[in-house]
Structure 1
């Protein structure tokens, strides 16, 4: 009798995670203290994994917490990880800790986003950068990707928009491959479809329309464009900076993202704290001078 492998169920899904991680059955078996034969039987649906085995394989395959619940349900078990609302009293220590972190990072920008990039907390440094953003983009829930890439958001003021946009979209594609979120994919299709912002001098990296002082005239605009090019060439090579105009000056930031270690809740697992460190002394000095 020939056994035909099924394309549905927990086994094929585990196989897709393993292939995505580029791990062989033998390597996964060694990591999970099992045998390659047993892994093969699970993946083809010939063997039903225990709840412990599902969690063990998910752990070694670095499956996101939300997707671990999906694996458990497909295997016939109850979800293991809760999904607590962010404003639930149980998450008060998490909220308070993040709020202290954001306040402590002032005057440098810092914010917290969830799994679809909705902003759940931000400090005054971020609020400063949002000056001039269209009102409809500031209606809660604010979305970090929409705020950054929308033609009426920060995009017209980002000097290196082409590079920054490409990096953000690549980040979203990697997350979609992991999370398989329909909401995230819909957001990606929206922001990837935004038209490029109109600029006074045409190419990205030039002064946005309406930003040069009227008294400057064409020569003033040219000087600003040259200064912008010089600043871009002086940017640190170890990370892509965000170069954004604010108040007639160009600020340069290096961003970093932090997540919680070993989360046991879906909501907490999908929170990310993004901080923006000044990439040059001029940016740091300006932010400190603006701090109350």
Structure 2
């Protein structure tokens, strides 16, 4: 198999792994189901490959990566799954009522857009850059591969819309969400300014910073909604700390960037996945600890 194809394949598998398996949405015993794997591979894998191609061809930049990742989150959760609008979506919990305005689960929408931007899209792309630096500026898909990937992604999106969730979203809100996704995708190309927010603490302690970021997301979207704190707080603070996160990436070298990724993943891999295992989801602790150790080994090997 051509090396470029191997790298593209790895990237396409990393996205559903971090977006679905690590989060417990699709546990290890479910992801090995050929139908589940094929579907998630087409959706997540197709999405991350298309975003990376756009990112590389549009002159990279971490602001672009963030906005493209958010666009993916909007497309998946808003347009395909429709969880932005469905008050009975199975994963909502308290977010079915906390921050629900204009028939939209606003806090959930912001949370999932950030989650997918960081974990489903950006981290897989960053890991490929770290593991395969010779492909850093190179496209992974030729014209034919790009067409196949686009068809696979759109097919998965349509199947999800019609078969996964029968809920009919409010038309105006759904259309505005569609326009927002289009705006992000097409306006990203016009961005001329690189995002850079230099903070010396992050350069010295990138792993710790990444850990703080993910724990902050847990607090904002898993803990605060169970309190009397107004929903506007997580609604605004989540995007602010996300912009700050992406603003740091330009100032980090390869080893620091991997340390940041380890920090971002740590609370999931070393805490959340173990909790899921204790709650009866078999295999999560092995997946979490094993993944962290593999990345840690790579980190220790970098100079």
**What is the TM-score when the length of structure 1 is the normalising length?**
0.23
Larger helix proportion, structure 1 or 2?
Answer: 2
Q: Max radius of gyration: which structure?
A: 1
Structure that is richer in strand per residue: 1
